[in-house]
Structure 1
């Protein structure tokens, strides 16, 4: 397992107007949710029945795979990408204008991250790799690949729909046949999760504070029903999955630390490569990194997306809340509250109970 060293950076205290903005975001989020519902209890019930509305915008930053490939070749300590950085990536094919542009994969020989050029790419070899020896009928309800459209500030460079797609063997074959010039994004091999339900971990950074959120789908991955509803986490409506701010698993006691360390290291690399400027991101847009723990315990980097500042602030709630002076300053009149002072009364011993029969 790789050892990643992260240098601690002093975090500047929040200014009063910044703290007020963060409080406002928290208050609006709590005020808009009634009875712990995602929207309202009535609208939540309607959403569960409306399967065609479960998709949400989910576009990936395709340039990050090129960055990882170049980054992996600059390290001479070990050829293994996972040993150097603590995570791996699944087979990922970048599609540009309906044609395969680059194929990123991990070498079986030494674990290095390799890339096939466009001259050695074909949709037939892509389908053969992602499908493998799966039988179309036996695996018609199981995911084998994921389609993620490309994120871009230019409308003409984006795909017709900004939604992720989970593809079975038959679905992948049909999707490849329907690729057109206006399709740009990635086709990625589906990583089996560590558990009976699909899960995904998202990390974001706000003011040098890295926060983790883990979503686990509420349905069984091997169950029946709609494939998207069984697989979606951050790609779909919030009601399809449960969320946690920690990663806890007795089989992987150090996985949370590994995810946070890998995320911070990758974020520093994104800053060095000026990815935000390359994508023309605004001041209120942030890069979110998505990781997944596979069935064999290996950590995989899945994709990076662009999220709003509101989502980032809500995810870093537990890190930012202690920077609020109202959480740390002295509370006026605290001594009047039960337990608000260090002075304790001596316990009173009640007198012995007397009765007609004596003590």
Structure 2
């Protein structure tokens, strides 16, 4: 098993004095294939607390949480996140609603975005401008096999306006100034981050430009949510003979499902397929959101607590530039997966499943365009199989 340069998770903590932050080397979290947890992850009988893990935390969990907790104590966030009020909306979907008022009013305003394939602009805010203390560590996948090319560096940063406990950003090589367009190395790091955690509720996601990404600098979100979500076991049907692309039809929203249950070539093939699809969507100015979670294999609905592989779910949607004011929530990667961060106490107490579905439906592609996109993606996957 690969080990970091200092195997104690306290190596990812800042010096106690702020004046000592500058010039500090970014610690490395080095991992290899044996660190990825593929089996034995499942939900307990009741929803877990993030402070009482359903299984022993992994080395990745300990490193992330200890460093994240310290940054919260040092006041590096825009607000102090306590335990969020949470309720499951009555109804068949199982929406998990959370009240997060401060995120709604204190998060950084979205950048001026007008295109899904907009170029990176160094004059706007980007992750090269953050404070040193916001960096937790560098995520480094050890070459496999030994001697192979080193994977790209991915910085793990705190999200200063967290939507849940442990909310981080995964930023591949920020100095390159990459726009918010999904790349294979970034997606691979996101999937592997999910597999590095032993908590069933650690998820990773990506918002495209026009899909409510607020910063045009390549990044993914990672966070813990101690609740099951409907997309983990929702039913699906195959769209191609090889079974590589599935249609997730159940609410909250229809989406494209990719699945892997093993490392090596299977994982690499999934990364390649997903990025070819997101390239198509970006090139055609179609906004999209992506969600990575542990889940059940494609097929019939599963209510099993066992999470046997990784689901990557992709939604093509209407472009939306900026944040809509006055809505109970804005529709991005969390909401399409069934997790609703709500902005006001009034909306939190009165929100219904029907109202949530209506807000989400309003952000989806019109049926005719959705069918065209589906046909194009099926043809794209078919080309890969030839």
Query: Which TM-score band applies after superposition, normalised by the shorter structure?
Result: under 0.3
State TM-score, norm by structure 1.
0.26
Higher helix share: 1
**Over alpha carbons, which structure has the higher Rg?**
1
State TM-score, norm by structure 2.
0.25
